A and B are shown apart, each in its own frame.
Chain A
Amino acid sequence: VVSRVVVASRNYADFASEATFDIKKCDLHRLEEGPPVTAVLTREEGLHYYRTMQTIRRMELKSDQLYKQKIIRGFCHLYDGQEACCVGLEAAINPTDHLITAYRAHGYAYTRGTAVREILAELTGRKGGCAKGKGGSMHMYAHNFYGGNGIVGAQVPLGAGIALACKYFGKDEICLTLYGDGAANQGQIFETYNMAALWKLPCIFICENNRYGMGTSVERAAASTDYYKRGDYIPGIRVDGMDILCVREATKFAAEHCRSGKGPMLMELQTYRYHGHSMSDPGISYRTREEIQEVRSKSDPITLLKDRMVNNSLSSVEELKEIDVEVRKEIEEAAQFATTDPEPPLEELGNHIYKNEPPFEVRGPSQWIKYKSVG
């Protein structure tokens, strides 16, 4: 024990406090200048990003396990591989900013402030879940996080509406409105681009392009796969979504644009999901195992960050391993909670139909079965 302490204190003295990295230049649409091509990463930031991404990674893998054990039911869309997106976005905005996404939302539920145990308990349908077990995988909410939305593309007009409220209230807040490459072909998104640009809404439209809309590759779904250009009159940038620093710097750039009242911006994050579309999709009928393996070995967001930090003395393999151990422990405890917490009481069935309404009765499957409803 003594030697570990000595080793640790010696390591901390050896670490750099920050390092500067070259990051990929973003492709630009209707922009003269883009985000910077270098980024400064402090040791503190690095450790935080690493821990957060690792937590999401292990949380999603745990969800995979629980789903296969049939403890999680229904739809379950996992985010492993895309961690740099949600963590990078959050690093560039304030907790007072707003965010909305579609159904691949567990990572965002976490970065927007929901505890792992509450996310897992929501997946397992228990009363300790962040929506008391009433929402499930696709319907998790937090302060300034509007889900978790099941209907492909519907969240995009909602996000512009949230941005409208930001502008209306005049508090210098913005809304990050996310959708996938599949949703990018939805008509309501183009309606939203139009109104957001017309009214200069402080909205960053973010397309998480993970190359496949369920089983359909982008080439088979879109006449133009330059998703960052699809906003036409809206300036856009295409970002390496596997590099957290790229995501962070691009988001800072876009956020500044929106906050300055110039109107919306579009970001395409090029990313990848290791799992299939959902737990019902093995994910190998429309792509090869080799492709998945290649991304894992060459572009894994957590590995990329780890290598950068270790190679630039921001951390050590041992220190990061310690974080891994802590994260695993946290996930195990959360899973323990999620599998032992009771299901919501039957009375919960009728609640939350209306807000601020005196209690009333809700009909069950027959006229003799009634539930009380409180908001």
Chain B
Amino acid sequence: MATARAAGRAGAAAALALLWLLVCAPGEAGCRLLTVADLFDRVIRHSGRIHSLSTALYAELEKHFPPRDNELGKPARKCHTSGMLTPNGKEYAQKIPREELTHLILKLLQAWKEPLSHFNQHHQELPDDSLSKAKQISNMVHELSTGVEKVTEKMQSMGMISNSLNGMASSEATGLSIGNEADMMSDSDFIHCFRRDSNKVQSYLKILKCRIMPENSC
């Protein structure tokens, strides 16, 4: 419990740091209003880091729990977010409305907050290295979620996207029966799923950024 509390505190601190990052540009004389492009770059980078971490964690877990057979071929693998309809290709991602895409990103992140916390609490038997990664991932997902919300607000305030998704986010997020399915998965499946979703989030963020600001290094 002590470690959990410490982790919680650390997570809070990290969230604060992210908030500060989102508002203030490091290394500059003072805080200034960041452009949407800057914010996008940060959340994209952040999601990239999460993906890298999850990849590393997945590799560790595979090592720690050798697959009984071809893990990939396990037909039973089913992520708790599989039910969500997400674009599975570039063209779909480009067709979907911006608001919807934004909402999708937030939904994905939201869907992983609780299971990740749950995973951390119930997998104390994992190697320290993996456990710390898992905790880090959990915190970072919180931060990323906050960051994406920030970007969304900004875009909404600047009229880049409509305000229509506020209600959507909360209503649909509750609709997911997250907890049960996540519990049913093996550890490696769980991380595998998360890794995939983190990659989704990153890809969607990139697509979204380039759709909103096509002139900005896209």
Do A and B pair up? The answer is no
User: Which B residues fall within an 8 A CB radius of A?
Assistant: none
